[in-house]
Amino acid sequence: MRIRDFPEINRAELIRHFTLTGADEAFVRQFRTGRNVLGVAVQLCTLPWLGFVPDEVAAAPAAAVGRLSQRLGIAMGELRGYGEREQTRCSGWPASTCSPRG
């Protein structure tokens, strides 16, 4: 069975995988809107944690989104609607990490 959704996250995973480095933050801040900055940050942190990015990025654990939101100064609610357009969800990512929905 393949996991397609976000699992629950424990404190150690949260700290290990959802702490942005300076380089990570510089990378995500290249995107135009708060929604995209936060969405890309969630994807960037999720990939090493799970080895893939689930289809519904906005369904990431609230603790993870909150941690990134606080660091980036972007409201958690900005993530709603992120990735509704396939182009937004997959822009700049290798095809192997961004599968089509379905």
Residue span of the structural domain in which 66 resides: 11-91
74 in any annotated domain: yes
The one-character DSSP state at 51 is S
The one-letter amino acid code at 39 reads G
CA dihedral angle for residue 26, residue 94, residue 48, residue 57, rounded to 10 degrees:
80
45-61 per-position pLDDT tens digit: 999 999 999 989 999 99
80 in any annotated domain: yes
17-56 per-position pLDDT tens digit: 999 999 999 999 999 999 999 999 999 999 999 999 998 9
5 in any annotated domain: no
The one-letter amino acid code at 78 reads E
40 in any annotated domain: yes
